[in-house]
Amino acid sequence: MPEKKPKMPIRVSYGICFWLFMIANLAGVLIEGFFYLIAFGRWETHVVTMWGPFCLLYGFGTVGFYLMAAALQGKGYVLELIGYALVGDGLEVIGGLLLEFGLSMRAWDYSDYFMNFRGHICLRMTIVWALVGFAYSRFCPLISKGLSQFEHGIFRVLIIILSVFMLINMVYTVICIARWSRRHQGIKAESSFEEFLDQRYDDEYMSKRFIEWKFLDQPE
């Protein structure tokens, strides 16, 4: 009887996770754009940074599924499905609550769906995340092997440079969105920097940049 071929391991490293994060950020925006173009005849994307076409939820979600796949490899299908559901729901709950209580905003709303929590998660999306994560995990060993080739030499330098850029990008994004929220609440600029933000990134600009984001007191 031939020996059973061992499963290809899923390797975890910062380099692999970083490239996965960056690829998913960009791919998510492009997939959404083409979907809206085909379905509705217009290009529409949902970026979550001030600089560049990046949707961080796709990035963090993809890395989260990857880490869960590595942790649960060989643990059984049921446990895997539960794990991927928790990753998807966890990101949506954390993101939704931060927007709701930190900025009085909402970027998505499942309030009309069965078994939802404050509109941030619902049973339907929990099932979707479980299935998406499960399907995606089947490719994680190949992803691990492929991205391992881009951790050394010039790629190590790129990882450092892009990591610093993305960190600054995310911090700057939080600052700009926080000022947008404070401005909506009628709080005047308290520094020349906040005045710059008000002029450079006014309400119209921010509404176009973050398409589906709404303040909780805005009419539907």
Question: How does pLDDT run across 116-150, given as a tens digit for each residue?
Answer: 999 999 999 999 999 999 999 999 999 999 999 99
- pLDDT tens per residue, range 155-174: 999 999 999 999 999 999 99
Average pLDDT of every residue of the chain: 93
CB 106 within 8 A of CB 214: yes
The predicted model gives 34-50 an average pLDDT of: 88
The predicted model gives 99-115 an average pLDDT of: 94
pTM assigned to the model: 0.90
Q: Give the pLDDT of residue 67.
A: 97
pLDDT of 4 above 90: no
Diameter of the chain measured on Cα atoms? 77
Tokens of 22: 């960056």
- pLDDT tens per residue, range 182-208: 999 999 999 999 999 999 999 999 999
Distance of CA 137 to the CA centre of its chain: 17
Tokens of 5: 């071929």
Q: Give the pLDDT of residue 6.
A: 52
Q: Give the pLDDT of residue 39.
A: 87
